[in-house]
Chain A
């Protein structure tokens, strides 16, 4: 990180998890829980000859956002791809349960998840998978207690596997250009189904299938921001008061919205086809234009919604 930049001006993609947490929150308001000095590390990596991290690749804590008390979690995509292991996942589960239990007292106002993950950490696959399921259940409990949970995605690992599912369980989703949100990664699909199904080396194709612009234009993300930490911060502040409640009406609306997407675009195999069908201007240029031009595009009907 350059010394010339203030924390919130730093590029999200380049920043570490701790820099994202500190820069997202009001200056000097971040307090970490179970910080690296406590050395809560994975006991499972040594048998795979891997070196652990003192924070197991995730930072959790609290701070202020625009003066309001919030809880935050930030995954470190540069440590084992930000993948969920036993300790890593349990830190997030503990944070969410604390948010649920604190809801009655009005603290926290929201929980912000800075996801940057390839999904389950295979060296501790069962613990990681279970942690993801526990996180999903805890998110639902937090949302049921009327506390919004926001997903912020724009790191190098994206949000894959269970991380993609967690993203779509949140009240609102913010992405920047680098974000990729999916379940099976392109390499996994290519390995299982062949290069004709998905050429994982075709970077432009990968971005059109999994990338932030496709998610935003089809309603898979609620806000598309430029890449600075400040941009994510402003989007989070703006979205918290408008988070949809977790209730039958919301999920019925989501059922309709997702069914409609299948009806309109269910036979498409590339985002270009979707953009053409949606009548977007110059569809072949959508992937390459600058953020300002992209943000000026009118989203297709239904992409802007409360059904999540």
Chain B
């Protein structure tokens, strides 16, 4: 979906969203039952650079500093992290981590954080934006991927055709909303037949999970069968030794 369509359907009561540098957007929007919510995002499939991550984290920290508990909505359409020597030289890992930490800090301070994926998101940029909120919503046209199948084919040396066939039998490696929904990454998938605004309002009304339940969700949806059990076994052994 295009950003303008997303905004029209998500925030029909109005918003102050402005485009910033490096593909970023920021502002506030009205959501029923919430008043003004903070909105940040990266749009147009722009790669997330050190500069973009800096801007987004700055908006998040400003919202935390302003106080209150207004929700934060993160709109995501980014190809991946910016693949450039300059960004890596400057320490892109620190910039992406800073953005992820800022979003997690906002949640610690009581801001409900929701990412809305309406285009691409891959690799490290996916981690620092879409996956660093408490809930991730996928809209029509969302194309999340950790790595595309041709790249997986190159690394694993398995023919693309075999990978496509394998992808039908397991959600564990294939790109797309469905596999990431099954594994617990995507909380909700919204379709175009219903406006997004009431769905967002409903999502924000529901109680916030106090801990990370994505492994449990992945188990319930039968997309990630082991993660939760393994984590629990390790934690149980750790507690027994304490």
Contacts and interface: CB of A to CB of B under 8 A. Distances in A.
A and B are partners in one complex rather than unrelated chains: yes
Interface of A: 31, 33-34, 40, 43-44, 47-48, 60, 62, 71, 86-87, 89-91, 93-95, 97-99, 101-102, 105, 107, 120, 122-134, 136-138, 140-141, 144, 159, 161-162, 164-169, 181-184, 188-189, 192-193, 197-198, 208-210, 214-215, 218-220, 246-248, 251-252, 254-255, 258-259, 261-262, 265-266, 268-271, 274
Interface in B54-90: 54, 57-58, 61, 64-65, 81, 83-90
The 5 closest A-B pairs by CB, nearest first: A94-B234, A164-B93, A168-B97, A98-B238, A94-B231
Contact of A246 (B95, B98, B105, B172): B105
B232 interface: yes
B147 A91 contact: no
B8 interface: no
Contacts of B220: none
B1 interface: no
Contacts of A132: 127
B15 interface: no
B233 interface: yes
B91 interface: yes
A159 B104 CA distance: 22
Contacts of A122: 146-147, 151-152, 155-156, 173
Nearest to A181: B93
Contacts of B147: 120, 122, 125
- For the residues of A in contact with B, the DSSP-based class is helix
B189 interface: no
- For the residues of B in contact with A, the DSSP-based class is helix
Determine which residue in A86, A125, A136 has the highest number of CB atoms from chain B within 10 A of its CB, and name it: A125
B179 interface: yes
Interface of B: 50-51, 54, 57-58, 61, 64-65, 81, 83-98, 100-102, 104-105, 108-109, 123-124, 126-128, 131-132, 146-147, 151-152, 155-156, 158, 166, 170-174, 179-180, 183-185, 211-212, 214-215, 218, 223-235, 237-239, 241-242
A183 B90 CA distance: 11
